[in-house]
Amino acid sequence: MIPLTPKYATMHSVISAWARCGLVDVKASEHRGNRASLLAFDHTLGGYALRLSERVFHGAISPPEIVDFHSHVPLHASFMTALQGFAWREQLLSRTQGRDPIAMGIRRHGLVEAETLRKCPTCVKEDQAKYGCAHWRIFHQWPVARHCVVHGDTLTSRCADCQAPCVRRNEPSLADDPCAVCGSTRLEIEHQDVPTGYWPLLQLLYRALQADAPEVSALVRAHPLLACRPAACSTASSSTRARVSLQKMLSDWNAASVDHLSCRLGAARVWTGDLGHRRSTDQCPLYVQAAALVAEAEPQPSCSESRRSWRIPPPAVGKGGYAATDEGVGPADFAFL
């Protein structure tokens, strides 16, 4: 019997469910190629959709379903122009394999998914009742996500008994599996305070994933803050409105600088520092674009107030291109503040 899978289950989760039903052998050479298993391939940005549909799912899941409902493509395409997003999707649907320069550019900006796997306790219970097993969700895996945007629950990422993190392996795994180390099924819930900008950002990203956030299209470059590079906001050429938005964005996230913020949101490198950098790192990472949009969408503080304090200290750049922070918060870290 073909397992039913929910919309926005990760491709790792869908393949795992098929493997558990005995419908696909992830270690079979025709699926794994020269990798350890079919699950060792990166399916997060719609890669191999055609091959998966034909050879693994035998047409039961179509390439558009894989790209639109089981990958992060709709989120990232929402931030492009409609034409760019359409062209990328068309390529993903027709290509059997090979390099994807757009996906490579996205990965250069940061993690598509956090290093630990996250799940929502309510999603797990609802899935078990509906599908007989629980699925990993795309929108739980964003580096910035600490909560389920549907239920509001804090996401869990480790075993409550042995503290082992949930991580992707080459073996099939589902969200209601017992701990791979000690076998416990208790999950640690880490309650934490979140910055003001957090919930509006998570909701915006979730709408973008559903292709329901037209305001994030690349046309938003008309927004003052995105029109200039945030690092250049202190120059005379940037508008007062951009400087006000910049200050609001940083205060919403308790961040000292844009680099500090991008690090917190999961961006892989400091992209604001070097004007002569190659183009791929010159663009603002998606999560920072989203934070800027959220800051600009909300009421602005008064200009006189902002003029006094918009100057922000330069970021301290640490080893490996990450912005060093007092707290030592890195992109893969689960703690916010």
Which residues of this chain interact with Zn ion, rule CB under 5 A? 120, 122-123, 148, 150-151, 159, 161-162, 164, 179, 181-182, 184
CB closer to Zn ion out of 179 and 225: 179
CB closer to Zn ion out of 67 and 134: 134
The torsion angle over the Cα atoms of residues 260, 266, 268 and 271, rounded to 10 degrees, is -50
C-beta of residue 121 within 8 angstroms of C-beta of residue 152 = no
CB closer to Zn ion out of 144 and 179: 179
CB closer to Zn ion out of 154 and 281: 154
How near is the Cβ of 181 to Zn ion at its closest, in Å? 5
How near is the Cβ of 115 to Zn ion at its closest, in Å? 18
Long-range contacts of 179-185 (CB under 8 A, 24+ apart): 184/159, 184/160
Helix pair angle (198-209, 286-297), 10° resolution: 120
Separation of alpha carbons 335 and 290, rounded Å: 20
How near is the Cβ of 174 to Zn ion at its closest, in Å? 15
CB closer to Zn ion out of 23 and 194: 194
CB closer to Zn ion out of 122 and 309: 122
Radius of gyration of the chain (CA): 21
Separation of alpha carbons 299 and 283, rounded Å: 26
How near is the Cβ of 155 to Zn ion at its closest, in Å? 8
Q: 22: which residues sit within 8 A by CB, 6+ positions away?
A: none
How near is the Cβ of 7 to Zn ion at its closest, in Å? 13
How near is the Cβ of 119 to Zn ion at its closest, in Å? 8
Separation of alpha carbons 256 and 313, rounded Å: 7
Of 32, 45, 47, the closest CA to residue 80 belongs to 45
C-beta of residue 205 within 8 angstroms of C-beta of residue 290 = yes
How near is the Cβ of 189 to Zn ion at its closest, in Å? 13
Q: 202: which residues sit within 8 A by CB, 6+ positions away?
A: 144, 145, 147, 149
CB closer to Zn ion out of 102 and 179: 179
